[in-house]
Amino acid sequence: MSNVEDFDYEDDDFQDRNPLRKVNKELEKELKALRKEREELLAAKKENTFIKAGIDPTDARFKYFLKGYDGDLTPDAIREAAIEAQLIEAPSPVNATSDEQAAWSRTAKVAAGSQTAQPPVDWQARIDAAESPQEVEAILAEARSAIQ
């Protein structure tokens, strides 16, 4: 019973003689470093996605939302969740002013007029063919509205 009980497997001399153990420890250190890098990369990717969704990660209002969000990591899904949580407002549709609407209306009329193949109206012939003064005034009102 002498030498077997006194043998220490953790002896430094034994570790130096076993090259596999040394390589294994190096690989474990490398794996730990790679896992840490992966976690940092995933955190940066998540932060970038939140920024694309219009959420400022440095803003204190979004602190718990950033930590607690576990949904789909797409900007649209994050934006929808933030709107649902009333952290951001839904984008309002662009409202054109009345001048812009009038301009678009005129443009549409011009475009519609250029695509039709109707012959021009002979207003003089219609007025000459009218049988009453009321009919003449109706033709003139129609002519005015067609010009505008």
Q: Give the DSSP per-residue string, 55-89.
A: --TT-GGGHHHHHH--S--SHHHHHHHHHHTTSSP
CA distance 46 to 66: 9
**56-109: per-residue pLDDT in tens?**
888 888 888 888 888 888 888 988 988 888 888 877 666 667 788 888 888 877
Is residue 107 a part of any domain in this protein? no
Residue range(s) defining the domain that contains residue 25: 12-84
**96-146: per-residue pLDDT in tens?**
677 888 888 888 777 766 555 567 778 888 888 888 989 889 988 988 887
pLDDT recorded at residue 114 = 58
DSSP letter at 2 equals: -
Q: Is the pLDDT of residue 11 over 60?
A: no
Closest CA to 148 of 114, 106, 118: 106
Closest CA to 146 of 118, 112, 121, 126: 121
Is residue 147 a part of any domain in this protein? yes
Q: How many domains does the chain have?
A: 2
Mark whether 129 and 72 lie in a shared domain.
Answer: no
pLDDT recorded at residue 103 = 81
pLDDT recorded at residue 116 = 55
Is residue 27 a part of any domain in this protein? yes
Is residue 111 a part of any domain in this protein? no
